[in-house]
Each structure stands twice: as structure tokens, then as C-alpha cells.
Amino acid sequence: QVQLVESGGGLVQAGGSLRLSCAASGRTFSGNAMGWFRQAPGKEREFVATIIWSGVSTLYADSVKGRFTISRDNAANTVYLQMNSLKPEDTAVYYCAASARTSSLLNRTERWYDYWGRGTQVTVSS
């Protein structure tokens, strides 16, 4: 059974940093794109960042570009999201996602991803 488990969320003041981790089990994703999405209260889930299997290419939402960094460790089957200069509008549940496709394409749409974690809460206070 494939599982994605996020960790690292919490409460932080504006301007602070958090590092999210997503550990995958049940299969390896070393040849697949992985990504992060988020959902704020009362809003639809939105794309945050994605990274191809090699880690060479990444794609970010405009709202987080320059502040967030996605990375991965294929040996550990884990993807990370380093979040700096956090703002109150970054408050959301953050979800890890993984694609079953062996592709080098970057994609920001939810339907590209086949596996999802349960999410971790990030709250940024002003």
C-alpha cells in the first residue's frame, strides 16, 4: 500500500521558516514527479511546487517563488519543502503528492498526481 506522510508543519510567526517533509512508502518514486499543494480555509486546494525525478527541474506558484524551495532525496524516497519568509497568507493545510507517470514533465494540475498525503497544518501568525 502506497503512503505519503507529511511532517514538519506547525505554528510560526510571520517572517519565520518551516521545513516540510514527505516520506513515501509502498513504492519508490525515484522516477516520478512529486509536488506540494495547499488548501486554506474556505478556499480550493492550490498548487505550490513540483520537482521532477532527478531534482534538476522545479516549478513554483508565483505566490511562493523566491521564498519556498522544493527538493528531494530519492534514496530516502522523500520530498521536502523549505519555506522561508512566511506570511499569514501561507496558512493552510499542505499536501504532498506523487505522480505514477515516469515523465520529466512538470505539471501544476492536481489530476497529474495519483497519490496524496493527508496533509500537515501550517499556521503563520501576524
pLDDT 10s digits, 22-52: 999 999 988 899 999 999 999 999 999 999 9
| β-bridge partners, 46 | 38
Confidence bin at 104 (pLDDT 50/70/90): confident
Q: Is the dihedral of CA 31, 106, 63, 38 positive or negative?
A: negative
pLDDT number for residue 55: 87
Cα separation, 65 vs 24, in Å, equals: 25
| β-bridge partners, 38 | 46, 94
pLDDT 10s digits, 42-97: 999 999 999 998 889 999 999 999 999 999 999 999 999 999 999 999 999 999 99
Cα separation, 92 vs 45, in Å, equals: 9
